[in-house]
Each structure stands twice: as structure tokens, then as C-alpha cells.
Structure 1
Amino acid sequence: MHLTHNRRLAAALAVVASAALAGSLALVRPASADTSLKQLAEAKSKYFGTALVQSNLSNSALVGVATSQFDMMTPGNEMKWDTTEPSNGTFNFGPGDALVAFAQAHSMRVRGHNLVWHSQLPSWVSSLPANQVQAAMETHITTEATHYKGEVYSWDVVNEPFNDDGTLRQDAFYNAMGTGYIADALRTAHAADPNAKLYLNDYNIEGENTKSNAMYSLVQSLLSQGVPINGIGLESHFILGQVPSTMQANMARFAALGLDVAVTELDDRIQLPASSANLAQQASDYSTVVSDCLAVTRCVGVSQWGVGDADSWIPGTFSGYGAATMYDQNYQPKPAYNAAVSALGGGVTSSSSSPTTPASSTSPTSPTSSSSSPGGGAACKVSDTVDAWNTGLTENITISNTGSAAVNGWNLAFTLASGQSVTNAWNATISPSSGSVTATNLSYDAAIAPGGSVSFGLQATHTGNASAPPSFSLNGQACATG
């Protein structure tokens, strides 16, 4: 028997109230933003979400960040088949109900995740005779989607249907029904909840490649058949520095088919221990993802998988890797948080000198310590990479200290080509937006040790000239380039 909405809400609020009471005397809050991620995203008609599991609700630090920063919630495990129908015809919606009620109590929408997936699938499904699989799938989808009707924004109807080579996985559903199982699943979900957005969700389809081409072809076929499908989920489980340069173009081609696109499970794993350079690159990666979404009208939002490094799935799955989210082990914001805020057009208030505490990124600031030219025979070198398209570009700049003295606070002056105008930046503030500009360090990347380097980047529009600046000067001293 299903619980009613009110009973689900009452049950979950009891859990939340208990967690709040337990943590009321020692709630850890992140450095405050001028405007939260969710508010900044909402101002641009997007959302910024996270994933939660039921055990997270008793962690007051995690809950504090989740409720202040995110406006979309994806249940990590509680709506998957092994939880919701562990044995044939026996349904368990209690864990999912608790998360839905938590989301409702904190004005968060819910991404339903998921209805059909080859993994976390009870053995009874795989053991069914082939001629019984379709009925079992349709019953499962109908029962779960009906149970949450009106309470989810969207469903990942079929999760991870493809192999990396672009072929469909030969799981229980494909083996019993062939390629038609995907269309059948979408039609069944739509019949159960006509107002929910219906997605196909997968990883390694963020850029243009064999796998995303296969997804694109599948979607074209589904649309030609009149199958109800509303969106494509790009999981976006990245490795540091490997956000595809074609991500925006890939989003745009799905959007051109009339579909929404969403970044559904974002994280960016780092080989541990994470260095300051790693964190700077991670900030650049997050900024790129957010900026790509902002550039595509039908990209509806970005969701991070988990709230912070302490609850991330990465260390338990990828040995030696971690530090994959915007928040550290203590739920304090990292440079990636600041970069996401900056990409969304906001600034943050720095309240400490911690290297993971963001500083203002909306206007130039004075360096952390007095700005001075590199001395004692010091020198600098700047490398610069421009990635341009149509009327836009991204530029990643690395400053290397090739001298013998540390740089404590930096300003890098350069001139943008005619027609270029900066729209956002990460790991630095840049002013003015065109012509002769100056990039100024943030709080966490002010120092450049001898032999060390820092990196920052910018996104700009252009009117035809996407060339890089011809020269750079660091704190008034000309730098070598190359």
C-alpha cells in the first residue's frame, strides 16, 4: 500500500527535524555567497542541484549546504529498482518518500532517478523468462511513476543504455525486447505521469564522440516515431582537465532537436593528494561546464553528484582519486565553488584566508599582499590557449614564475583583440571587459613560488578576431610568451 503524500511528508519531516536538533549547536556553514548557486542559476532560468541519499539527512553540515545552495535534488539510490521493487511485485517507496518530502520542505524540485537501468537491478528481473520481461518493466515503471506523479520534475527513464562504442548494452531488457525497449519505457512512463519531463541519461556523452553520436541517432529515431522524450542527461563524471571542448556544441545539437539537456551528475575527480594547481584546474573545469550550460538556452540546469568531498562516491570507486566536488571534507567551499559562482555572474564574500575560501570575483581587488614586480632577477613566462567558435571563445592563461623570488599578489596586464569582450572569468578578476585589461589574483592563488605557476581563464565574445593577446606584463614587468 502506498503512503499518501501527507504521510510521506510527515514521516520525512520527522527525520529532518531530528537531524536539525542533533546539529543545532554545531552547524557548520560554508562561506556565504552574495547570492547562492541556486539564486544565481534561477536568475538565468536554470537550476543548480545536488544528489542526496537518505543517510545524508542526519548530517547537519551537509544539510546546511544542500538547503542553502541547491534547488534540485536527485535521490542517489532510493528510487532505483533494487530499492523500490526488491522482489517481484513487492514495492518499497519509504526511502524515496523521505527524500521527496525533504525536497518539498526545502523548496527543491526532484529529478527522479531512475526507472530502468542495467545496474542495481534485482536478480529476479534478470532471471525472468524473456517473454515476461516487458510486462515486469512496464509494471515497475507504471507503479513507481504513478506513486510519484506530480512530485518529480523529471525521470531518467532509461539510464546508461549505451556501451562506449555506441552499441546498446545487452542487458535483460535489450535481450528480451531488442532496441524497442527504450521507446516502450518512455511511452509507459508518459502514460503514468504525463507532466514529468522524460530523459535518457548516460555518461561519456558530454562531448561529440561515438557514444554521443549513437545517442543522437537514437533520439532522432524516437522523435520520428512520436515517442515522448523531453531531454538528455549528460552525467559529467569528469577526470581533472578533461572536460570536452565540444560539450557546448554537443548540448546545442540535442537542443536543436527540440530537447532539453541537463548536466545531471557533475563531479571532477583528482588524483590525491590534490595540489593548489589541481584545485585551480578543477575550478576552471567547473566554470567551463557552467558556462557551456549558460550558453545553450535549452540547458535547464546543472546538478553535482553529492554535496561535498566527504560524501562523494569517487574515493570508494576510483582508487587514489577524490576531491571531486565544490566542497571539501568539512563542507567548506573550494575554488570550484567560486568559479561556479563567478560563471553564474555572482561574487562571494571572503571571511578567512583559507585557500579554499572564495574571494570576490566580480570586480578587481587588491592582491592579498602588496603587489610588487618580481625582484632579485625574477622573470615570468605566460602560456596561452584560445578555443574559439562562431562568436565566442575561451582562453586559458598560465603564469609561470621563472625567477628566484616569490610573487606575492599579481596583476597581469594584456590587450584583447578588437571586438573581444570578456563575459566571465575564473581564478582571477578581469577589468575592464575589453581593450587593455588587467587580470588580478583571487585570495587562493595570490602566491607564485619560484618555479611555480598559476592558471586562470576567461570566456569572451568576438566579432571575428579570436586571436590571443600579443604580450603580457606581470606587475609591470614584461613576460616571455610561449
Structure 2
Amino acid sequence: MTKQLTKYLLILLIPSLVCVSCKNVEEKENQKTVTSLKEAYKSDFYMGAAINESQIEEQDSLNTAIISNDFNSITAENIMKSMFVHPEKSVYNFNQTDKFLAFGEKYNMFIHGHTLVWHSQLWPWIAEIQDSTQMANTLEDHIKTIVSRYKGRIDSWDVVNEALNEDGTLRESVFLEVMGASYLPLSFKWAAVADPNTDLYYNDYNMTNPDKRNGAIKLIKNIQNQGVKIDGVGMQGHWHLDTPSIEEIEASIVAYSELGIKVAITELDINLLPRPENLQGAEVNQEFEESEAMNPYPDKLPDAIQNKLAERYKSIFELFLKHRDKISRVTFWGVEDGQSWLNDWPIDGRTNYPLLFDRNLKPKKAYDSILSLKAN
């Protein structure tokens, strides 16, 4: 082969070699390892976690590292509930809530406030009020004081939490008993006055059940029809390995979205333990007796159940991705298994495994199953 011919062939081959090289680099870029939940789902919705006092105060560096690496939204697990933030008529305690805000701002989080109006974990003196005007004034002061304090800093609020019975009727809370149903639109109105730019949500459990879903839709439409701002609905994801079905979850996401509001998946965890026969939703005041049968995995979760949990989370997140245009935020109710409220509810002393990180703060197969959906 002559030198001239060799030179000619090289001229023809070099562009092809360069293209192959570029393609290999591009493929490697596309296949790069996704290292966190928030990075994987950054173009879909916020990935959130409910955090407790020790996590807010950064008492454990590994906990802090997980929260800041994997999540870009936080919710206060307990400290913003009225019994803690408003313990006496004329006394507000913002010590922990200020720390919660500081944590979120330090790590550039979307900050969600939970919750302004709830029938449980109430400030203890509220039951003394029997006059509707006095109750309205008290509730207005409570809402406006808290929301105004964090105006422009809290991105969204659960204004009213769990106001419905399982059949979709209004729960007989102290607010309903004294003020009637007017407390619902008024609560949203007062929150909107205090901070017009924060998103306002109604939040509840069992929101996939048809009767309760219909009740929630009626509640939201009533607020909307009065010209009051309501931006979204929170579907608490206190679900199980077998229920609700993916079809039920999907039907609910679509139904709420059709109201013209955002849908947040809140308080997500998957209960792996047997359910007492008379258990009603996620009502926190229920208690049942201990038994070995109700605590089948006291020391370790079997691999078979780990795999089922991973598949359940994968199926759920496949659905969330399908409806990413409707979902604003997905928030897990805790970070690691040892923190979960399901260890003691509705039976004290049980060992549950509902979250993505185990008690040693190691990611579980469920974590990998969610991350794998966004690996490519």
C-alpha cells in the first residue's frame, strides 16, 4: 500500500473513530450513577422527609448527611402541632420551629408546615371554649400568628388536617362542634391573608377510599366556591403491601387533580405488620393489645418481605412518574425505620420496617428500587 493511499484511508477513518469515541462518552454520561433521590427526581417533584427534633438539631451527622443528600423538602414531624407551638392561650413557643426553618434554609430545602388546624395533639385549653365567636377569634389568631411569623419562608402549609370521617362526612372535632363547617374555609382564608404566596393544602389519610375521596372533593369545592384560596390536597400515604391498589391510588390522583389543584403524596410509609381487625385508617388515638402474632419480625425483616417492600415502592413510584405533571411533592413520614411512628401504633412495642433506610441508616432494597427507575 502506498503512503498516499494510507494517508487517504486515515482521512476517511478518523471522523468515524472520533464519532465512536464521542458516542461512548455520551453513553457513559447517560449511564452515570444517580447518587441521591433528590437528584434522580429533580425534574419530577420534590422528594421530602418528615424530621424530628434530634434531626432538626443535627445531633447525628449520618442522619444529617442522609437528609441533606437525598431530600430537598422537609416537614416537621411534630413540633409545629398546636400543643407544642401554642401551649397556653397567650404563649407561643417558636424555639423548635425556628430551628426547623434554619435547618431547611441551611440545606436549601422546600419547607412544608404541618399543621395549623387538627383535632388531635391540640393545645389543651381549646376545649374550654364553647362560644363560636371566641373560637373563631382564637383560631384566627393562632393561624395568623404562626403563618405571619414565617411569611415568605415556609413554601406550603397543611392548613387543615384530617377533617373527614371514613364515610366522607365532617369529623366531629371541637372546631366543627363550636363553629360549624365555616371553620374550614375561614382557616384557609386566614392563612392566605397572613401569607398570600404560600401554598395551602388540605391533608388527610385514606384519601383513596371512594367515600372519603368524594367527601374531600366536596370539602375542597366548597372552599373554592367561596372564592377562598386552596392550592393543593395532601394524600397521606400510610399504605400497606397489598392495599390500596395502584388503580385506586391513580384514580384518586386524577380526581383531585381535576379540581385544578396540586396533589402532594404526604406521610408516605408502608406498614409491613398485621393490622388489627377493627383498625380505622391512620387515626392516632387507636390502641390495641400486644401479642406475638402482631409483631412477627421483632429482630429482622426476612429477605422475602424486603423484596416485597422494594417491589411495592417501585410500583408506587412508577405511578408517581406517570403522573408527575400532577404531583408537587412526595414526602416520607420519617427517614429511617427506627424513627417511624408505626413501631408503636396502633400497638406499643412492635418492630416495623416501613421506610427506605434501616435502623443502621443503611439504604434498603426499597431505596434501590426507587432509584433504579431513574438510573438511565
What's the TM-score once normalised by structure 1's chain length? 0.63
Q: Does 1:196 align with 2:195?
A: no
Q: Which amino acid aligns with 1:128?
A: I
| Contact 2:34-2:371 at 8 Å conserved across structures | no
Partner of 2:130: 129
Q: Which amino acid aligns with 2:47?
A: F
CA displacement at 1:36 relative to structure 2:
1.0
Partner of 2:43: 43
| Contact 2:115-2:158 at 8 Å conserved across structures | yes
Q: Does 1:335 align with 2:365?
A: yes
Q: Does 1:240 align with 2:267?
A: no
| Contact 1:270-1:321 at 8 Å conserved across structures | no
CA displacement at 1:309 relative to structure 2:
0.5
| Contact 1:309-1:323 at 8 Å conserved across structures | yes
Counting aligned pairs with the same residue, the percent is: 34
Describe how 1:307-386 pairs up with structure 2 within 5 A.
307-319=335-347, 320-343=350-373, 345-346=374-375
- Once the two structures are superposed, what CA deviation does each residue of 1:191-229 show, in whole Å capped at 9, x if it has no partner? 001011000000000x24111111012112221221210
- Between the aligned partners of 1:81 and 1:143, the Cα distance in structure 2 is 12
- Between the aligned partners of 2:40 and 2:153, the Cα distance in structure 1 is 24
Corresponding residue SS for 1:236: strand
Aligned partner (choices 182, 185, 188) of residue 184 of structure 2: 182
- Residues 232, 250 of structure 1: alpha-carbon distance in 2 compared, 3 angstrom cutoff: same
- Between the aligned partners of 1:43 and 1:219, the Cα distance in structure 2 is 28
Corresponding residue SS for 1:248: helix
Describe how 1:84-99 pairs up with structure 2 within 5 A.
84-99=85-100
Partner of 1:284: 311
Q: Which amino acid aligns with 1:292?
A: L
Corresponding residue SS for 1:241: coil
Deviates more, 1:237-246 or 1:119-128: 237-246
Corresponding residue SS for 1:97: helix
- Between the aligned partners of 2:86 and 2:47, the Cα distance in structure 1 is 30
Q: Which amino acid aligns with 2:157?
A: W
| Contact 1:81-1:122 at 8 Å conserved across structures | yes
- Once the two structures are superposed, what CA deviation does each residue of 1:260-307 show, in whole Å capped at 9, x if it has no partner? 001110000112423222122211221232222222212112110110
| Contact 2:34-2:40 at 8 Å conserved across structures | no
Describe how 1:56-455 pairs up with structure 2 within 5 A.
56=55, 57-131=58-132, 132-205=134-207, 207-244=208-245, 245-271=247-273, 272-273=296-297, 274-296=301-323, 297-319=325-347, 320-343=350-373, 345-346=374-375
CA displacement at 1:333 relative to structure 2:
0.8
CA displacement at 1:38 relative to structure 2:
0.4
- Between the aligned partners of 2:33 and 2:269, the Cα distance in structure 1 is 21
Q: Which has the higher helix share?
A: 2
- Between the aligned partners of 1:111 and 1:164, the Cα distance in structure 2 is 26
Q: Which amino acid aligns with 2:303?
A: S
| Contact 1:232-1:254 at 8 Å conserved across structures | yes
| Contact 1:240-1:278 at 8 Å conserved across structures | no
In structure 1, the gaps of 5 or more residues are 1-31, 347-361, 363-482
Partner of 1:52: 51
CA displacement at 1:241 relative to structure 2:
2.3
- Between the aligned partners of 2:124 and 2:156, the Cα distance in structure 1 is 27
Partner of 2:291: none
| Contact 2:36-2:69 at 8 Å conserved across structures | yes
- Between the aligned partners of 1:189 and 1:329, the Cα distance in structure 2 is 38
CA displacement at 1:167 relative to structure 2:
1.5
- Residues 307, 33 of structure 1: alpha-carbon distance in 2 compared, 3 angstrom cutoff: farther
- Between the aligned partners of 1:208 and 1:163, the Cα distance in structure 2 is 11
Q: Which amino acid aligns with 1:104?
A: E
Corresponding residue SS for 2:165: coil
- Between the aligned partners of 1:255 and 1:240, the Cα distance in structure 2 is 25
- Once the two structures are superposed, what CA deviation does each residue of 1:95-133 show, in whole Å capped at 9, x if it has no partner? 011011011101111110000000110221111123311
Corresponding residue SS for 1:43: coil
In structure 2, the gaps of 5 or more residues are 1-31, 274-295
- Once the two structures are superposed, what CA deviation does each residue of 1:395-431 show, in whole Å capped at 9, x if it has no partner? xxxxxxxxxxxxxxxxxxxxxxxxxxxxxxxxxxxxx
- Once the two structures are superposed, what CA deviation does each residue of 1:114-156 show, in whole Å capped at 9, x if it has no partner? 0000011022111112331111000000000001111111000
- Residues 92, 104 of structure 1: alpha-carbon distance in 2 compared, 3 angstrom cutoff: same
Q: Where has structure 1 moved over 6 Å in runs of 4 or more?
A: none
- Between the aligned partners of 1:54 and 1:123, the Cα distance in structure 2 is 21
Q: Which has the higher strand share?
A: 1
- Once the two structures are superposed, what CA deviation does each residue of 1:234-258 show, in whole Å capped at 9, x if it has no partner? 1111122223322112111111111
- Residues 334, 87 of structure 1: alpha-carbon distance in 2 compared, 3 angstrom cutoff: same
Deviates more, 1:69-78 or 1:160-169: 160-169
